[in-house]
Structure 1
């Protein structure tokens, strides 16, 4: 079973900034931050930032694909924009991230313990599960596939819940 996160996409000047909260800290996709700030995303950020300012995570992107992405935390973002790639126009970018993006991420997570998505390999297939309240949940439609059966359209017609 692989644990993955789904980032929230914010837009500034038609460019995406995907971000998420991990352990109540804001993390941003390094390549999105690079595009917004105008530096090459293939630069070695690991040499510029401290180890606690970077991490790699498996993310589920908008297209439904999974990708291992390099994430930069808020402290690393400020260091990149103030020290390594300083430009006077980055003040607006830093303000937007600090004043709008980070509070929006906090509002999303303030509703209490949120369910987490998980991906599980089962008999050569990938199944999307949800971990919530200490249990793993699966969609009803995926049960026949777990049992090795092919679900038919008429499988649910005869069974009605009273």
Structure 2
């Protein structure tokens, strides 16, 4: 089994929050977030979020097993804590996540060797690159445009 992600575990008041950095964005395990925010987990509390704020990923558990978990991105986290399930104590949770968890993910990711997507502007056009092991990589299909050789477009009849 190779298609899984390994979360970073953070602790607040003896409760875990597992988080991941995927494509330079912070994602949080929704069940952990619900426990920290005292939101009932027997209902789908994430149903109020937009689909771009959610994703399901197979993650590695501490005991070596695997679990399919619903993840919430940082935007969804703020929407859940400050809009849909507002409670004054959630401000402290939000501050902890913003000030400690997200920077902690960035530091851990910087030490890893996982590829990261980069967007670069080249001659006024956006160019998608991949940064891996200190080197920038470009897709083979983008090379003609990168070299200034734009293929002719044929008119549709």
The equivalent residue for 2:17 is 17
Instruction: Report the alpha carbon displacement of residue 112 of structure 1 after superposing the two structures with TM.
Output: 5.8
What TM-score do you get using the length of structure 1 for normalisation? 0.68
User: Given the alignment of the two structures, is residue 59 of structure 1 paired with residue 64 of structure 2, yes or no?
Assistant: no
Instruction: Report the alpha carbon displacement of residue 63 of structure 1 after superposing the two structures with TM.
Output: 1.1
Moved over 4 A (4+): none
For the residues of structure 1 that align with 2:112 and 2:37, how far apart are their CA atoms? 33
Q: Could you say if the C-alpha distance between residues 63 and 112 of structure 1 is closer, same or farther in structure 2, counting changes exceeding 3 Å?
A: closer
What TM-score do you get using the length of structure 2 for normalisation? 0.70
Q: Which has the higher contact order (CA 8 A, sep 6+)?
A: 1
For the residues of structure 1 that align with 2:42 and 2:53, how far apart are their CA atoms? 17
Q: Secondary structure at the match of 2:111?
A: coil
Instruction: Report the alpha carbon displacement of residue 47 of structure 1 after superposing the two structures with TM.
Output: 2.3
Give the gaps of 5 or more residues in structure 1: 116-131, 134-162
The equivalent residue for 1:44 is 44
Instruction: Report the alpha carbon displacement of residue 54 of structure 1 after superposing the two structures with TM.
Output: 0.3
User: Given the alignment of the two structures, is residue 72 of structure 1 paired with residue 59 of structure 2, yes or no?
Assistant: no
Instruction: Report the alpha carbon displacement of residue 93 of structure 1 after superposing the two structures with TM.
Output: 0.1
Q: CA RMSD in A?
A: 1.8
